Amino acid sequence: MNKAPLSRFGALAGLLLFAASFTLSASSLPEFTALVEKAGPAVVNISTRQSQAVANNPRGHVIPDLPEDSPLQDFFRRFFGEQGEDMLPDDDIQSKSLGSGFIISNDGYVMTNAHVVDGADEIIVRTNDRREFVATVVGADKRSDIALIKVDANALPTVKIGSAKDLKVGEWVLAIGSPFGFDHSATAGIVSAKGRSLPTENYVPFIQTDVAINPGNSGGPLFNLDGEVVGVNSQIYSRTGGFMGLSFAIPIDVAMDVADQLKRTGRVTRGWLGVLIQDVTRDLAETFRMPQPLGALVAQVVPNGPAAASGLQPGDVILDFNGTPIHESSALPPMVGVHPVGQPAKVTVLRRGETRVIELMIGELPEDSEIAEKGDAQDLQNKPNRIGLIVEDLSEEDRSQLGVGKSGVFVAKVEKGPAERAGIRVGDILLMIDNKDVESAAKLRDLLDAIEPGRSVAALIQRNEGRIFVAVRVPKD
C-alpha cells in the first residue's frame, strides 16, 4: 500500500487546520477602526502658553524640560547644541505645553487634566478638522487632576460617557490622544488593575492599564470596546519619562462628578471622616483576633472631626462603609469622598474583638493646611513616648467592658524601640509599668520620665482575655 499520498494528505490537512485556527485567533482580536472613526472627532489637542524664564542656546532654540535620564535628552543636545557657558541670558518667553482632552457637550465643554492647564496664560484647543479655539477655565481640581474648560462653539462632536464600575481586569481598552504632540494617536491595551491608590492621591481609585501613554496623552479619554469613555488618562509610572507599561486613568464616574461640581459652583466638595488609617497586616489581624487581614485600621482621630464626634477610636478596624465591605484601607477614602457632605453614613467597626455599627455625619474634606492645624492640638499625644508607644485613654464604657477598673491605656501604635522589642503590640491594654498603675496617657509619660535611663522594668499588659508581663528596658537619654 502506498502511504505517501496519505502522508501528504495528512500534512495538507494539518496545514489547513493551522490556517483555520490562525484565522479564528486573529478574528477574535478586537477591531478598533470603527471606534476610532466614531470617537476620534471629539478628542482634542490642547496646547498652553505661559510666561516663564528659560535660557536660550545660541541657535535660538529652547531645549524642552525633560527628565534628566530621558533618552530624548541626547537627541535634543545633538540637534540643538549643548547648553553651556555660551548660553544667552535668561529670557521671559511664552512656553507651550501639550496635552489632550475630549468634548463632553456640544456647546463646548471640554474635559482634561488639571495639570495640563495649570498656570496657563492661554489655552488653545485644536480639533481633528484643524479648527482652533481659545478656551477658558471653568474650574480645576488638583486632588483629582480634573479640569473643565470651555470653548465658544456649538454643534461640536461629543464622546459617549460610560462607567468604570463595570470594567473588568483583562478587558480591552483604547486611548486616543496626542503623545509628544502627535495628534490623534490611538493605542490599545488591557485593564491591569482597578482601585489603585497612588501616593499623590487617596481619593481617586485609579484604573491601571498597559495602554501606551506618553507625555501629551494627559487628559485624553480611555474607551471601552463599546466606544464609551471609562477613564481620563492622567499618570504614568516611568523611570525614563516615557511609557514603561504602567498607566493610570481617573475613572470617568469620578471625573464627571468633579466636572458637574466645577460647572455648578466652580469648586469641589468631598466627604470626610476625620481619621488617619492604615492597612491591617497579618500580625495586626492576629492581634485583633481576625481570621484574615482586611479593613482600614484607624491610627488617629482628628479632633473635632466627624469621627471624633461619633465616638470612633484609634484601634477601631473599619470593616464596611454603608454596607460596602472594605478589603483594603485604600478603598475607604474614595467611598467617603463621594458621599454627600452633611448626610449620615454607617460604618461597621471591629473594636477589641467585637463588631459594632456606628452612625456618623459625613463632614467636608478641608484643605490640607486646615487638617494640619486641627492635628496640632494632639501633637504631644500622638508623639511616641520614651519606650516607643503611642497610647490613647480609655472611656468609662471601655474600662467596664474590659474589666480593668481605673487602670489601663490603649496601645494605638508601636514604633521601633524598647516596647516593640519587648513584644508589646497594637491593641494591647497597658495596665501597669514598674509596679505602678497606668491610669492615663499623661500618667504613663510621668511614670516613664521618673524611671532611671537604662533600667529594665516590668509592664503588665492585657491582650485579648489574658494578662502577661513583659520586660521593657527604658533607653538611655
Count of positions (residues) in the chain: 477
Q: How far apart are CA 211 and CA 173, in angstroms?
A: 8
Rg (CA), the chain: 30
Residues 145, 183, 316, 320: which is the catalytic one? 145
Specify the long-range contacts of residues 70-73, CB closer than 8 Å, at least 24 apart. Answer: 70/240, 70/241, 70/242, 71/240, 71/242, 72/241
Return the closest-CA partner of residue 279 out of 318, 313, 321, 248: 318
Q: How far apart are CA 280 and CA 364, in angstroms?
A: 26
Q: Which residues contact 351 (CB under 8 A, 6 or more apart)?
A: 313, 315, 316, 317
Q: How far apart are CA 71 and CA 67, in angstroms?
A: 9
* Strands 247-251 and 201-209, bridge-based pairing: antiparallel
Residues 100, 178, 192, 218: which is the catalytic one? 218
| Catalytic status, residue 339 | no
Contact call for residues 150 and 135 (beta carbons, < 8 A): yes
Contact call for residues 319 and 349 (beta carbons, < 8 A): yes
8-state DSSP, 42: G
- What is the end-to-end Cα distance of the chain in Å, rounded? 99
Contact call for residues 394 and 411 (beta carbons, < 8 A): no
Q: How far apart are CA 221 and CA 104, in angstroms?
A: 11
| Catalytic status, residue 218 | yes
Residues 105, 115, 163, 393: which is the catalytic one? 115
Find the angle CA(47)-CA(49)-CA(51) to the nearest 5 degrees: 160
Place of cell 497612588: 198
| Catalytic status, residue 61 | no
Q: How many CA atoms lie within 13 A of 58 on its CB side?
A: 6
Count CB neighbours of 468 within 10 A: 11
The catalytic site residues sit at: 115, 145, 218
